[in-house]
Amino acid sequence: MTKLGSLEIHVGRLAAPALVRDYHAGAAALAPFYTGSPWDPEAYQRKAEEVSLRFDAGRRQRMAAAVRPTTPAAARRLERLRSGDGVFVTTGQQAGLFTGPLYTIYKIMSAIRLAGVLERVLDRPVAPLFWVASDDHDWEEASQIEVLSPDLDLRRVALSSAAEVPRSMARIPLDDTIEETVLGLARALPDTEFTPALLERLRAAYRPGQSMAGAFSELVADLFRPFDLLIVDAADPVIKELAADVLTRELEQSAQHELLLAEQTARLQTAGYHAQVTIGAGASNLFYEDAQSGRDRLLREDGAWRLRRSKRTFTEPELRALIEREPGRFSPNVLLRPVVESSVFPTVAYVAGPAELGYYAQVGCLFRAHGIEMPLVFPRASLTLVEGKVRKVLDKFGLEVDDFRRPARELMDAPGDGLPVEITATLAELRRRIEDGYRQLTEGSRAIDATLEKPLAGARNSSLLQLEEAEKKIGQHWKRRNSVALDQLEKARLNLFPGGQPQERVFNVFQYLARYGPALLGALLEAVHIEMGDAVPGWAGVRCG
């Protein structure tokens, strides 16, 4: 655990399906679907050698033209890769509002850390490269963030509605309403010494006329300048030109590649794991985009090609000519994108989230069909930020962070409105003794005077009534205590698992930057530790067929 003032930074493993858990454990059943164990230095050596054979000086020169260094030091690092035998650790994310959820930040931090480790392991330059997935068009995901306001109100900050047809983030310009979106975030942030400067940085990147992808890239570059990050935009014309051969091959061999993917996916499911991406019959791994159609999937149909949504048709020669003449109109889907990235850049490892770990298990044979071996896939760090007010609640109730995966009521000793069992039992026993005692007293007093029965009955009823009043008073205090405790637990759970989700999948980094300032990012990087291990038997590469 790392601390920044009262903030605790806890690092753990990704909490996800069985595939991710088994991947961390090095399960033999997963070995045929990956290049090697991500903690095996020898696997990285093998991959680096394969990359060196594919990337000559000319190819390195061309790819470097697409990379954006964030600092002079980053530019020098890029030059070492361009002119030598260096390699990249890559990660990426769809361009979204204000960097999107926290896990985007954690992916980049993990890539920076892994690159530093691998530079020592491989004894060659290794640089972190962030791929801005500007071709993606998931507007609902990209256009909104959630932050927890100082009054513990979960607030959604969002852009206006999307265009009529899906468009890639590189083609969506921000309009004047972006200022209102920034103000919406400002109203949700705490008023601290850091907040004004943060808002200025946001306005500098997210401004009218800038594309969604351009704004995202600028903000990431600004935030990660202290770490000499390299950035690339998937829509860069250089990337499109260098990827044209892969896209053409994918077009020409679409049916064969669909079969490869379907067979590998079936093997994965037979091994007991889920398929992250469904392999659709007749669906290519390519998208086409123009002003009329938006971004649309290409489908095979009766020897020709059709766009899924607009129904527009093409012949294969027409598409080949378009790829050669206007490669910027085409982009890969989620399964082909890793292949494109590794064809353009000398990539040895990709830092992945849980969903990416899943679909990388499906694409090893697609890589091989394009003459490339899949990179090592390293799981990103999973971080949980525990603020001082939350730590007090954990200590008060003797709880750990993971306990809050359960509903708050389940964390209480006696959930609901009922009194604790020991109190209820004591009251019942006291009631029994009052009734038994007065019964014995009444029976014994008859020999003295029969008229004593009526006043003794009144005394018994009075005692029972007083006990009932005592029970009500205890109950009122118990409910009040329960209510306070439940409220504290609910607030702690909202901080740690909003909506039952890990905070890294919901909250945006700016709610923490406003509280803890620019030192936060350095503390996050310090918290991420990566250690290599021994070779894992059987994890020697993807097996196809």
Segment 451-465, tens digit of pLDDT: 777 787 788 888 888
Report which secondary-structure segment, H or E, holds 117: helix 102-122
Please state, in angstroms and as integers, the Cα–Cα distance from residue 205 to each residue in 133, 199, 212, following that order.
17, 10, 10
| pTM for this entry | 0.88
* Amino acid, single-letter form, for residue 194: F
Is residue 385 a contact partner of residue 8, using CB atoms and an 8 Å limit?
yes
Report which secondary-structure segment, H or E, holds 147: strand 144-148
Question: Could you give the count of Cα atoms lying within 13 Å of 523 in the half-sphere of its Cβ?
Answer: 20
Q: b/e per residue, 88-100, with b = 16+ CB within 10 A? A: bbbbbbbbbbbbb
pLDDT band at 450 (very low <50, low <70, confident <90, very high): confident
How many other C-beta atoms lie within 10 A of the C-beta of residue 374? 25
- At 332 the three-state DSSP class reads strand
Q: How far apart are CA 284 and CA 279, in angstroms?
A: 9
| Of the candidate ranges 363-372, 427-436, 449-458, the one whose mean pLDDT is the lowest | 449-458
Is residue 290 a contact partner of residue 330, using CB atoms and an 8 Å limit?
no
Q: pLDDT value at position 476? A: 60
- State percent of the chain over pLDDT 70: 96
Question: Could you give the count of Cα atoms lying within 13 Å of 448 in the half-sphere of its Cβ?
Answer: 7
Segment 491-503, tens digit of pLDDT: 999 999 999 999 9
- At 191 the three-state DSSP class reads coil
pLDDT exceeds 50 at position 156: yes
pLDDT exceeds 50 at position 244: yes
Q: How far apart are CA 162 and CA 144, in angstroms?
A: 12
Phi, psi (deg, nearest 5) at residue 154: -75, 110
How many other C-beta atoms lie within 10 A of the C-beta of residue 465? 10
The better pLDDT of the pair 476, 18 is held by: 18
Segment 73-82, tens digit of pLDDT: 999 999 999 9
Strands 126-133 and 294-301: unpaired
Phi, psi (deg, nearest 5) at residue 375: -70, 165
